[in-house]
Structure 1
């Protein structure tokens, strides 16, 4: 088993979420990536944002393959694909300079894909707060209940997909409280398409105590991804701020918009939590 760091350009912050939702990643160059390997995604300008397990060997793209949702799918020159499944998605608060010093990795992120030395693999797993995942054959199974990381032969894939959507939307009670507070409308975009509205935590998730309505925003799924990746935030005037890297995209129109607030002031987003999120967006201090 080998671990890899894959760099994602800062102009495409949603490509990681596309990959996790679609279950595959496309590349331009052939590498010796095999089923059972691990990949740590690095988003330029943000840092480590996701840890996934590779579930198929890297192979040539075929005519009948499902299309990728990449913004540059037609122009990016992608030739190869490997399949994957999510281990953990979270922003890791560590610079590449610090990681390089602590692991001895001297390769540049601009290389696009870096093979992680064996002795550094546990270091990266530790950054995501988890130990190395055991091989599937070693995982004890005491029943046949649904395990979100393992596919059982004969399982209804439609039911599996619905459960995955539910997990992405957020814990049921927390999401329900936000749907009520925000009147079933995205706090940023104003979208009223309920199936794509998700419960976004403002502060990082630390347990059930984080599920208070004041620590959340009801966001459209793509806006939720940008918020989690700190490419979009809320300033101290409760206005939406968008990273300069998105200024030439459809998200530019959101910059400067007033955040939609609940009618009940007790459900207003916590100002300290919003401030901490904004402070993590280093680009905000240099954006006029």
Structure 2
């Protein structure tokens, strides 16, 4: 299993014009970056800002394209090993030992590049500040590397995150990797066709209501499939629910499931470590479901809760379970 420590900050070699990185959903680079073409779908992406850990996920998809990038070089030796100085003049200095030229403005050349944009929203785990930059450097295969994309010693990194102060389980990463290996990337590509109409039909049916958390602005609601879209290839209105974006990801990963006997939520033990999601455990759905949806809910439960005991229902929830509509 390959893991990458990726720098998210101001690095002109990493991105080009038009990129809009968002740390919890997508990250971009281009072919000028060492290791650019080595990153693969299913690899773990660990983001930092040079000072501290930000979070991690598993890459679901990588889109490639073409673009251009500006290369700045020393006007003396022509090498790109230059640095801008903040307080000294001239502003730039060449770090080539055979040159060492100081100058105000570099030579700039525009060159074609291959662009890469990774997507990894489903398995994102926020870990802001839990590991220092010094520790992260030491956990790289080459601790002295200055590359924006560095290979990380995953087992050692995981042990650091899952033990000690602020220990956080990374089981969700394993779930995400298994989900991707099982065809999630195909589903991600195919789900775009007809998705807007599917979502509109669910909004018309349920209103602006998350089936797990209640009334929500439409902007944060996803159209979630109760079945594997990659297998069925169609959008069935009776096969979907509106879910808030974060609980949608957890539902896809099986970290939240719907008990088909009681229609209350079952939150996986490791996810209950987070108070926000622990509150959802054993809560009833906030919307009624049609009988055809029962089949998909049973399939999802069988996939993610095979052999699991039926969860106990808190006394205050007895009598509040959602009634199926005939």
Query: TM-score, with normalisation over the residues of structure 2?
Result: 0.45
Q: Which of the numbers 202, 223, 232 marks the counterpart of 2:226?
A: 202
Residues 161-202 of structure 1 show CA distances to partners (whole Å, capped at 9, x for unaligned) of: xxxxx959x711110111111121001011321101010111
Q: Which of the numbers 243, 258, 265 marks the counterpart of 1:240?
A: 265
Q: Using the TM superposition, give the Cα deviation of residue 70 of structure 1 relative to its aligned residue in structure 2, in angstroms.
A: 5.1
CA contact (8 A) 1:191 1:220 kept: no
2:297 pairs with 1:277: no
Supply the RMSD in Å over aligned alpha carbons: 4.5
Q: Using the TM superposition, give the Cα deviation of residue 210 of structure 1 relative to its aligned residue in structure 2, in angstroms.
A: 3.1
Residues 133-179 of structure 1 show CA distances to partners (whole Å, capped at 9, x for unaligned) of: xxxxxxxxxxxxxxxx9xxxxxxxxxxxxxxxx959x7111101111
Which SS does the other structure have where 1:270 is aligned? helix
Residues 195-232 of structure 1 show CA distances to partners (whole Å, capped at 9, x for unaligned) of: 01010111111377631111111000101110111110
| Gap regions ≥5 residues in structure 2 | 5-21, 46-57, 66-123, 137-146, 159-179, 312-326
Which SS does the other structure have where 1:261 is aligned? coil
Aligned to 1:72: 127
Q: C-alpha separation between the residues in 2 aligned to 1:281 and 1:109?
A: 26
2:47 pairs with 1:50: no
Q: C-alpha separation between the residues in 2 aligned to 1:284 and 1:200?
A: 25
Over 3 Å counting, the alpha-carbon distance change for 1:128 and 1:212 in structure 2 is closer
Q: C-alpha separation between the residues in 2 aligned to 1:5 and 1:54?
A: 20
CA contact (8 A) 2:210 2:242 kept: yes
Over 3 Å counting, the alpha-carbon distance change for 1:278 and 1:129 in structure 2 is closer
Aligned pair count reads 183
Which SS does the other structure have where 1:188 is aligned? coil
Q: C-alpha separation between the residues in 2 aligned to 1:268 and 1:211?
A: 17
| Gap regions ≥5 residues in structure 1 | 8-17, 26-31, 56-68, 84-107, 114-124, 132-148, 150-165
Q: Which of the numbers 32, 37, 40 marks the counterpart of 1:38?
A: 40
Aligned to 2:279: 253
Structure number with higher helix proportion: 1
Structure 1: 4+ residue segments shifted above 4 A: 78-83, 125-131
Aligned to 2:155: 110
Q: Which of the numbers 199, 210, 219 marks the counterpart of 2:243?
A: 219
Q: Using the TM superposition, give the Cα deviation of residue 286 of structure 1 relative to its aligned residue in structure 2, in angstroms.
A: 5.3
Residues 3-39 of structure 1 show CA distances to partners (whole Å, capped at 9, x for unaligned) of: x6349xxxxxxxxxx75624269xxxxxx74345314
Structure number with higher strand proportion: 2
